[in-house]
Amino acid sequence: MGTQSENRLLDGKAVAAEIRRDITDQVDAMVAGGARRPKLVAVLVGDNAASAAYVRNKTRTCEKAGVLGETLRLPSDVDQATLEDEIRRLNDDDSVDGILVQLPLPRSIDERPILELVRPDKDVDGFHPENVGRLWIGEPALAPATPTGVVEMLRRCDIPLSGQHAVVVGRSNIVGKPMASLLLRENCTVTVCHSRTRDLAATCRDADILVVAIGRAAMVGPDHVREGAVVIDVGMNRIDDAAQLEHLHPGDRKRRRGFDKRGYALVGDVDFHRVAPKASAITPVPGGVGPLTVVSVLSNTVAASKRRQGVTP
Ligand code: GUN
């Protein structure tokens, strides 16, 4: 029984397309039943190109599913009070079901009060402390998109979770912590690692399911992975060194063409080329977790809209 032949690429793009079709059906049904079309408003402050691309992706995905997707653009020098007023306006606007404040915000803005101002029932990012708390105590909650997407993908790909040892690398509020909570809810035994973890490789090697969200290109290599583990790569790192790209993806001409065109390539936190042969299943970057994150924002928006309009799930 060669592990190599059992190796499975977890195609996030395909799974996300399947979820989007399901959600489109739900939206069609709710609108046919007389409900208002769900609406997401993404708040984009400043002109960070990556943030703008993420927001475009989220609103476009909503529109493909029949959900209204708008972007509120504000200049990078917007002051705290003006941004707070805009959030209050969206909170009070009954036609808005989901509010998403794209991060990072400019340094002049204090992020916490902004995230805490978003009405919890419209908080499709799941960043409000009420949703964070609800998630941890197992109450219905809007949960952060990336970890929600990861669990949904594992479920749809029939990867067993109950009783498995899940190791999460990274303890951010956006991914690592909610990921731990959701995996715990699925009855995994969960370990969370971070920059101070004593022997990261040894802890990772104990994982049945390894979720990596640290934001450093190819930091997790074959020494971190047990033969047969499931590896989920949440990383999305831009590299601009051609030699590094060739080292990480030797002979990958398609990637190289993209690099030559844009001047950078996207790689994950996992050294895919060297880890994939050991893993029983692994997500690529791009085309793994990213599309799931986007579709989870859509799914949260529709869930929020149904709850607000009294449509049964
Ligand atoms: N920036 C990076 N990830 C996220 C996310 O999931 N939501 C928002 N709003 N901003 C982000």
pLDDT tens digit string along 61-101? 999 999 999 999 999 999 999 999 999 999 999 999 999 99
**DSSP 8-state symbol, 48:** -
Looking at residues 135-155, what average pLDDT do you find?
97
What is the Å distance from ligand 1's center to 81 Cα?
22
CB 254 within 8 Å of CB 277: no
Name the residue with the closest Cα to ligand 1, atom 1: 103
100 lines ligand 1 (CB under 6 A): yes
Helix, coil or strand: residue 86: helix
Chain segment 231-270, per-residue pLDDT in tens: 999 999 999 999 999 999 999 999 999 999 999 999 999 9
Looking at residues 108-116, what average pLDDT do you find?
98
145 lines ligand 1 (CB under 6 A): yes
Q: What angle do CA 235, 71, 240 make, to 5 degrees?
A: 30
Q: Residue 69: which H helix or E strand, with range?
A: strand 68-74
Looking at residues 193-213, what average pLDDT do you find?
98
CB 96 within 8 Å of CB 90: yes
42 CA closest ligand 1 atom index: 9
Query: CA distances (Å), 238 to each of 107, 241, 265, in order?
Result: 22, 9, 5
pTM of the model: 0.96
115 lines ligand 1 (CB under 6 A): no
Specify the pLDDT at position 6: 66
Using the predicted structure, report yes or no on whether residue 282 has a pLDDT greater than 80.
yes
Tokens of 306: 């149904």
Q: Which residues have a catalytic role annotated?
A: 58, 102, 125
175 CA closest ligand 1 atom index: 6
Looking at residues 283-291, what average pLDDT do you find?
98
